Amino acid sequence: MRNNKLVYLLLLPGLLVLILFLVAPLFSTIFQTFKGETGLTFAKYSDFFTESYHRKVYFRTLKLALMTTVIAVILGFPTAYYISRVSKRIRGLYIILAVFPLLTSPVVRSFSWMVILGRNGLINTLLLKLNLIQEPLRLLYNELAIVIGLVYLFLPLMIMSLVGVMENIEEDLVEAAESLGATRKEIFLKIIFPLSIPGLIVGSVLVFTGSITAYTTPQLLGGSDTTVLATLIYQNAMSLFDWDTASVVATIMIVTTVVITALINKLSSKLNA
């Protein structure tokens, strides 16, 4: 088709919105971090990383995201496999039950863990009643609470990514393997698992980058002692009014997510080759 003029006319309003209100603000923020007294400089980055507190926050963020991803895979993979093998009607029910939390406010979902982990929450009440502890435990406002909250937030996403791939694995393949003498374990390791890898990669990228950039959950469950990159941006921008540092952290966050996504994708294409 040759209606080129019409095509660009249709695309123009949307493109303008994105250029003016997404690309321009991002570039302005990123550019700001490289601007020195004279010319371009990396000084703000070296300043940032020389502070041990910043390094701690950075590696804490990566560590918590990695833990979240690993736990989400461990919990999500068998569950997705189960869902992909039940009858179609029941599968629909399971998927709706996974979508519901995804569409529920992250504030609500993080808050529910404050109810469970809080001083007067479910777990402390239970442990006190059973006389296992004398004083309520401090379960909130630490790294563990963040990881629990993040796993809770992203597990449905992992399950959905995996089910999408697993339900397309044909039962014929499994039966063929059975007829050729493969055991259940071999079928899982040699057929199901390799064919599920694309879903595993999509799910892991989503969960990992989501965990690195999550704000609501660490803010509510981590408290002020357990700062991560997202809460660090907010603190610098809104409490300390240090917009330079906030911009540096924002840029680092973008670079980190892009690099990690690219790495995982590269790794996966290598595995497939």
Partner 1 sequence: MKKNNGRLLTIFALFVYMFTLVPLVIITGAAFGSDDYLRFPPGGFSLKWVENIFRVEMFVRTFKISLEVAVIGTMLALIVGIPAAYALSRYDFSGKRFLQGVFLSPVLVPGIVFGFSLLNFLIIKYQMPVYTSLLIGHTVIIMPYIIRVISSALENFDYSIEEAALSLGAGKIKTFFIIVLPNIASGVIAAFILAFINSFNNVPVSIFLTGPGVSTLPIQMMSYVEYYFDPTIAALSVILMGMTIILMLIIEKTLGLNYFTK
Restricted to residues 128-187, the positions that interact with partner 1 (CB under 8 A) are 152, 155-156, 159, 171, 174
Pick the closest to residue 117 from 78, 143, 80, 92 (CA basis): 143
> Minimal distance in Å, beta carbon 211 to partner 1?
11
User: Rounded to whole angstroms, how far apart are CA atoms 193 and 228?
Assistant: 33
> Minimal distance in Å, beta carbon 17 to partner 1?
6
Q: Which of residues 39-78 bind partner 1 (CB under 8 A)?
A: 75-76, 78
Cβ atoms 106, 113 nearer than 8 A: no
| Binding piece for partner 1, criterion CB under 8 A, among 41-49, 50-58, 62-70, 92-100 | 92-100
User: Rounded to whole angstroms, how far apart are CA atoms 264 and 269?
Assistant: 9
Q: Which of residues 202-241 bind partner 1 (CB under 8 A)?
A: 209, 212-213, 215-216, 219-220, 230, 233-234, 237-238
Total residues contacting partner 1 by CB under 8 A comes to: 83
When binding is defined by CB under 8 A, the residue of 127, 137, 144, 254 that contacts partner 1 is: 254
* Residue 130, SS3 per DSSP: coil
When binding is defined by CB under 8 A, the residue of 200, 246, 248, 260 that contacts partner 1 is: 246
267 is an interface residue for partner 1 by CB under 8 A: no
- Within a 10 A sphere around the Cβ of 123, how many other Cβ atoms? 14
E runs forming strands in 180-256: none
Q: Which of residues 4-23 bind partner 1 (CB under 8 A)?
A: 4, 6-7, 10-11, 13-15, 17-18, 21-22
Q: Which of residues 99-128 bind partner 1 (CB under 8 A)?
A: 99-101, 103-109, 111-116, 118, 120-122, 125
Helices and strands per DSSP (H, E), number in the chain: 14, 0
Alpha-carbon torsion angle 60, 63, 65, 70, nearest 10: -160
> Minimal distance in Å, beta carbon 145 to partner 1?
13
User: Rounded to whole angstroms, how far apart are CA atoms 198 and 72?
Assistant: 16
